[in-house]
Amino acid sequence: MSTSLFDRIGGAAAVDAAVEIFYKKVLADDHINEFFRGIDMPRQAAKQKAFLTMAFGGPNAYAGTDMVKAHAHLVRRGLDDSHFDAVMGHLGATLTELNVPGELIAEAAAVAESVRSDILGTWWRKLMPIAA
């Protein structure tokens, strides 16, 4: 039986620490912090902790909106791959700062990448045949 990524990175305490550090980095980044203006950050952090816990294979207490609906208003405001890449960079830097081993950071990045098309509203491209 394999141990979940959630358990291997240190469980709830690690996710809590990561989310706190991650949002400090995000809010300091002028390329992406505009998307968080007016957001109740304690509430946002709680949702992110619940989502990452579930996504990393921990106890599922996530009751948020699906990724497409939750981010559609941000896509309308210009959210794109460059913003997603910046978030990914902050996630990696956060996990590195917390001394998470590289292979676990790569696994966490793969989980985050798996929702890119949902967050950016490009999920439908997977359904379209690629023109030659």
For 26-68, the pLDDT digits (tens) are 999 999 999 999 999 999 999 999 999 999 999 987 777 888 8
Using CA atoms, how far residue 99 sits from 25, 46, 93, 104, in Å, is: 16, 22, 10, 10
Could you give the CA distance from residue 109 to residue 91 in angstroms, rounded to a whole number?
8
Of 114, 116, 119, whose CA–CA distance to 68 is shortest? Answer: 119
Classify domain 5-127 at the CATH superfamily level: Globins (1.10.490.10)
What whole-number percentage of the chain has pLDDT above 90?
A: 77
The alpha carbon of 75 is separated from its chain's Cα centroid by a whole number of angstroms, namely: 15
The domain limits of the chain are 5-127
Question: Would you say the pTM of this structure is higher than 0.95?
Answer: no
Q: Residues near 2 by Cβ (< 8 Å), separated by ≥ 6?
A: none
What does the block give as tokens for 86? 């910046």
Could you give the CA distance from residue 91 to residue 78 in angstroms, rounded to a whole number?
21
